[in-house]
Amino acid sequence: MIELKIADRRPFAGGRAFGDTGAYERLSGRALFRVDPLAPAQADVVDLKLAPRDAEGLVHFAADFMILRPADLARGNRRVFYDYGNRGHKRALQFFNDAPHSNDPLTLTHAGNGFLMRRGYAVAWLAWEGDMLPGDNRMVLDVPVATDNGRAITGRVRVEFIPDAPGAVCHPLSGRVAAHSYRTASMDTSDAAFTRRRYPYDAPEIIPNDQWSFALAHAGAGAETKQAEFAVAASDWHIYYPAGFDPGWIYELIYTAKDPKVMGLGHVAVRDFVSFLKYDRTDANPLLGVEKAYGWGRSQTGRCLRDFIYRGYNADAAGRPVFDGAMPHVAGAGRKWMNHRFANPIVSGGQQYEDHFNIADSFPFSYAMSTDHLTGKRDGILKRPETDPLVFHTQTSTEYWVRRGSLAHTDTQGNDLPQPENVRVYCWSSSQHSADPLLQAPSRGIGQNYSNNVATSAFFRAMLDAMDRWATDGTKPPPSRVPMRADGTLVDYATWRQQFPAIPGVAPLSEPNVLPLLDFGPDAERGILREPPTIVHGKNEPGSPALTYTVLVPSVDADGNDIAGVRAPMVAAPLGTYTGWNPRARGYGHGVQWRFEGSYIPFPETPSERAIVGDPRPSILERYMNKTNYQAAIVAAARSLVDQGLMLEEDVDRYAEAAADWGRPRHDVGL
């Protein structure tokens, strides 16, 4: 049961009309939920039966929501586009409308190019993540705490801290300022283990218990002296390490926590909210008359959407389909990580360096049914034909290197795995995990190279149009476009290493992110994890049995750019090598992948420069002669994508304008 309490209603974009749809308005408030903890519809939610109940035996929880809707619903397209958001943040307008990011979208600037509004969509957000704290207009989901008949439940929790800069001496136990921390059950540090290591598989260095404490460090101007003052107070929500956290080291804290939140209710909240918007035919529904619902999630929420479908939540409590189309983006092979005791949903999927020993990736990885060669288990994400949605799974080169993306369309031994007819998988070649549509000059953080700058937002718009046609009248979208073993475009690391050019001063990543086999204990299947897990096998050593899942990467051309997949105009007409990986710089975990960053490695600009530095890649002037020719090459690539149904005509002019002066400022070109 759900009730929407609208607290605020106001015009969006100052009442500006968007094409035939007209003006939009913004509604925001709280969604109030009540569910039966014993009902089959939510039977798999871990600890739901241990949550407090009302007199009717129902469990209550509540979530922030926001809706942008046509002021005149009859002029809209009767479709709701649900943006899962990321860690409480609203992201759809940024990526579909090329708008600046905002958690308080209200102005015409926040509408960007107006794409979703011009198409007539109602855009909806609902908080699904129960560990977010209020602030910065984040979406917050309030879920109950599980107890053992009123007594506090305790369990071991594992958290990583990897600072990017010096000076930090205190962190919340969650490791994230914006996230709820599970309080320690004991202030005695001898009950915990605090360690650090340089690389994930290094032996941990134990930090003695008397060198840190559960405490909060305060700093600020003193009332008496007007000078900086510092104070420390005991806190069961923070860790204080006076020696300071060194940048780039992996610090790990394992402690006994108390009061687990029922995080799995996030799936129930999304299910019941979208179902209400789609099926309720009363005036209580602010989107009365919706005919189709599409769900989009990127990265963390792409994993969430895949898990939502796998666990059967795309069937509402009455057995009706929730999402007609699902669009998980840059989820890689990830899925399971939220529905267990003491879950911390804000944590990223297991990368090569950060959070490597995470439960986020577990079989099944693909939508198609397949067999896990290590366990013999047969399973797939899609297995409920009556309610399974149409799926566009999109990923970048980064997911192959960092998030085991090949497993989304291969079996566990790396063989091509045909996908169901209702699934398309697209690799956005040589692009990175997060591509800011409004990126200015190329940047370099703690990576060895510039971060990847390939522009891909046009693909989102084309994908949504294609999804709507598919769901509405059965028009088939373009076939899947991914690297494959069959044609040699999906390869092992050794093969890729032979292909990648010897660019002066560039050290390729040492290997893709392997998937360690982890044993979280005998109760893991019912959502109670043993921390830390036992590492059954981490990396395959030469000559050892294949005890991990096969992770493969896209093959590359002579420039080092991915061959297969959907090549954005910047990749089809490149000004550099664009990769899905970017090694950490010296002092920050040197040589290992830096989170989800890819690389932009500029071409030499002139034949003379190329000869002097010994770069095997042809220079920019050898490729295009002048910036007019470069712009023409970009436009030709964009028009080819339009012809293939992978880009909209309106985006050709956008690419042409962006390429007018050698792609500046997005590119680093001195010509």
Same domain flag for 78 and 140: yes
Same domain flag for 247 and 307: no
Listed residue (521, 527, 561) closest to 397, CA to CA: 561
Listed residue (328, 402, 424, 373) closest to 554, CA to CA: 402
At 246-282, the pLDDT tens digits run 999 999 999 999 999 999 999 999 999 999 999 999 9
Cα dihedral angle (597, 359, 246, 234), rounded to 10 degrees? 130
**610 domain residue, yes or no:** no
Same domain flag for 275 and 305: no
Distances (CA, A) of 311 to 268, 335, 394, 421, 523: 11, 10, 21, 20, 18
**335 domain residue, yes or no:** yes
Same domain flag for 276 and 211: no
Task: Write down the mean pLDDT value for the chain.
Answer: 95
Decide: helix, strand or coil at residue 635.
Answer: helix
Neighbours of 498 (CB within 10 A): 8
Same domain flag for 286 and 300: no
- Predicted model pTM: 0.96
Same domain flag for 134 and 169: no
Structurally, the chain folds into a number of domains equal to 3
Same domain flag for 239 and 219: yes
**614 domain residue, yes or no:** no
Same domain flag for 181 and 104: no
* Per-residue DSSP letter, 416: B
396, 459 Cβ separation under 8 angstroms: no
**451 domain residue, yes or no:** yes
**561 domain residue, yes or no:** yes
Mean pLDDT over 376-395 rounds to 97
**625 domain residue, yes or no:** no
Q: What is the pLDDT of residue 226?
A: 66
Furthest-apart CA pair in the chain: how many Å? 81
Mean pLDDT over 184-195 rounds to 97
Q: What is the pLDDT of residue 540?
A: 47
Same domain flag for 318 and 459: yes
Q: How many Å apart are CA 307 and CA 235, to the nearest integer?
A: 35
Mean pLDDT over 43-55 rounds to 97
Same domain flag for 282 and 386: no
Backbone CA torsion sign across 586, 591, 595, 598? positive
**351 domain residue, yes or no:** yes
At 121-175, the pLDDT tens digits run 999 999 999 999 999 999 999 999 999 999 999 999 999 999 988 989 999 999 9
Same domain flag for 318 and 345: yes
Domain that holds residue 99: 1-145+262-290
Q: What is the pLDDT of residue 543?
A: 45
**284 domain residue, yes or no:** yes
Same domain flag for 130 and 164: no
Q: Is the pLDDT of residue 411 over 50?
A: yes
At 527-581, the pLDDT tens digits run 999 999 988 876 544 444 446 899 999 999 999 999 999 999 999 999 999 999 9
